[in-house]
Structure 1
């Protein structure tokens, strides 16, 4: 099942106001009972996990990643590998 959505990256430390249209290519639950979603856009592919412990992880088409541990701490990693922790 595919659907098109508008994705705003305002929650990641990536600058905030970029909006990208993407198509969800697969969703489901992995063996640890965590939700995942794979998506495609004109910029490339990415995915996210929403974990049972409240944490979540995004892998973006530009190579950046965002991890939130669900307890107030997060790490944004730029495509070049620089990390910003909050």
Structure 2
């Protein structure tokens, strides 16, 4: 079973490419994760989005702008 950066394990639950050429991948981190059903998108326009097992999210617009939202609801633009 693969492991994540924090040493936890996950099960790959799906991946693919939609009709717009955007790639997605989903993982199940189990009941111990704040967000067990995590996923990410890599879009054809260069942007990407992560929904992390900690409950945080990260979006990069592919043009130098990004937004991170911590699991506590605090967020900020970078």
TM-score normalised by the chain length of structure 1: 0.72
- Over aligned residue pairs, what C-alpha RMSD do you find? 1.6
Aligned match for 1:75, one of 56, 67, 74: 67
Task: Structure 2: give runs of 5+ residues left out of the alignment.
Answer: none
User: For this pair of structures, how many residues does the alignment match?
Assistant: 74
Partner residue, 2:14: 26
Runs of 4+ that moved beyond 6 A: none
TM-score normalised by the chain length of structure 2: 0.78
